[in-house]
Chain A
């Protein structure tokens, strides 16, 4: 279903001299989705985001929003707003002044912009600290202010550049829940760049996995996780084993593997590590071709028939659980 506010990248390319940072990617972001651009550092995901925002020039291709090409417009005229990795709050302005910065630059009168800023601060629950300077705030609080500052311009698309990477793990989990809640409330498109697969799985309606300047796979989060198309995607999303079999490479989820006596199992191997993880036990075995395969067993299954390092073991799976990978 296409809508007015869909964002479409059409063979978008970014070259720095001879290096290709983004190689002719084409993708459609549906309006109102929470999308994650996921990939290892240097894969081009940040360049893609910065091109959408207008902070990086487009070498080739187009960015369409609501049917018009925005790829050569000023950042503020695109209908996008960006939240920076370092938050980029103005250190000399108070929280309220930071949030009201955009309207002030556009010449909105003082009263109106103060009211709008107060509304935004209320949205991110920062009203009580509106007179503080950024240096007097914690990382999580700074992030809320940066969010409010981005949202005051009423963007159709909010671009988030690794927004959680500067936070400690506990705060990261809390802030990601709040981001999700905020996106549901505002019903605008969020495009979130991250290299953390857990973050992407937890937040996104749709993930776009990038590698080596190209889109490796894109689609609804569960579809991608359930059916990784390439070995890279399977490995990057984690919880998958990529196994080379005579009939080709397959991806199989670690929790789909079952232990069997060695004879008659699809794979035979020797246990190299057993790691207790509380509710689960991760058991790593070395199988034919010197491949490491990890099986994730529930603690009940494992301790029902405990195994030890060095024991021979057979691994088996349901035929439907195996996903054939593209070469």
Chain B
């Protein structure tokens, strides 16, 4: 068999049989090193989620919240067809945004990784991509409003060119503007991981593909895309979780005319309906985890990192 399989048992036994005492202290050091992170995650991630879980079973009256264990919140949630419409809307935003960010992100990353030859230019162009992040999400989002509005730049330009006669009503405060803002805000989260995996592709693989007679598209589909999968998956997880958890973009860009799950939760919180908000949050969390679970079925990210 291979030399590797021959070598591995020896190394394995060599590693697993240090003197017992040294092994114990190494064990202890390991735990100590992991402790700070465990404590931080426990206090700021696990505990709040548990709290949300607990509160989601509490009861409410018109003017108070009382600790209890009842399924009223969930029963109401699943009994209302608003829930289904809002969840459908959320998933719709996530899927459409994912498709566009993937296409744009992959193209940008491909251009940066394979067409820009000098490293200095790569770094410069990459930094250029991050410049919008020097301002806040909200400002970047709101800057679309004067552009897309009824008398905004887009409409007046199109009208002056004679492409349209009357202003387009669907440019702003519509699903179009919501998705446009999402794509604008989150494409970089797709570019970065895809660019990273692309940079690790050995350039001689592309030459080997050309040598074997592959056309440019065949090389892209049979070599680059499969090798970029981990980056695509990481970017997809970023984009999907960000879009599914968002509420402010949908509120601003739809002019409060569309809803997603985030807005449902934020409305409940505004009305101090914490148990109901928690129940919705729990269902959203489970939905997002299921989506990530499905994505992870396609690529073993741990193996690729």
Contact = CB atoms under 8 A, between A and B. Distances in A.
Interface of A: 53-55, 74-76, 81-82, 84-86, 88-92, 101-102, 104-106, 129, 136-138, 141, 149-150, 153
Contacts of B218: 105
B204 A92 contact: no
A105 B212 contact: yes
23 contacts: A53-B211, A74-B210, A76-B212, A76-B214, A81-B211, A84-B204, A86-B204, A90-B205, A90-B208, A92-B226, A101-B212, A101-B214, A105-B209, A105-B212, A105-B214, A106-B213, A129-B2, A138-B2, A138-B3, A138-B4, A149-B208, A149-B212, A153-B212
B26 interface: no
Contacts of B227: 91-92
Nearest to B219: A105
Interface string B22-60: 000000000000000000000000000000000000000
B211 A137 contact: no
A141 B213 contact: no
Nearest to B3: A138
Nearest to B225: A92
Interface of B: 2-4, 202, 204-205, 207-215, 218, 222-223, 226-227
Most buried by A among B4, B207, B211, B215: B211
A91 B4 CA distance: 17
Q: What is the interface of chain B mostly: helix, strand, loop, or mixed?
A: helix
Contacts of B202: 86, 88
Contact of A84 (B2, B207, B214, B223): B207
A150 B204 CA distance: 14
Nearest to B207: A55
B2 A102 contact: no
Contacts of A89: 208
B212 to A, nearest CB: 4
Nearest to A86: B204
Nearest to A82: B211
A84 B208 contact: yes
Contacts of B223: 90
A91 B204 CA distance: 12
B224 to A, nearest CB: 11
Given A105-B218, A153-B213, A88 B207 contact: yes
A74 B213 CA distance: 8
A82 B209 CA distance: 11
**Which 9 residue pairs spanning A and B have beta carbons closest together?**
A76-B213, A102-B212, A88-B208, A88-B204, A105-B214, A92-B226, A84-B204, A55-B207, A75-B211
Nearest to A139: B3
Contact of B210 (A75, A86, A106): A75
A54 B210 CA distance: 9
Nearest to B206: A88
Nearest to A132: B2
A153 B202 CA distance: 22
Given A91-B227, A92-B226, A105 B213 contact: yes
B199 to A, nearest CB: 15
A90 B222 CA distance: 10
Contacts of B205: 88, 90
Contacts of A92: 226-227
Indicate the member of B207, B212, B218 with the most A CB atoms within 10 Å. Answer: B212
Nearest to A137: B2
A2 to B, nearest CB: 27
Given A82-B207, A86-B202, A106-B213, 20 more contacts: A53-B211, A55-B207, A55-B210, A74-B210, A75-B211, A84-B208, A86-B204, A88-B202, A88-B204, A88-B208, A92-B226, A101-B209, A101-B222, A102-B212, A105-B213, A138-B2, A149-B212, A150-B211, A153-B212, A153-B213
Contacts of B211: 53-55, 75-76, 81-82, 150, 153
Residue of A82, A85, A101, A106 contacting most chain B CB atoms (<10 Å):
A101
B2 A136 contact: yes
Contacts of B207: 53, 55, 75, 82, 84, 88
A75 B219 CA distance: 14
Contacts of B226: 92
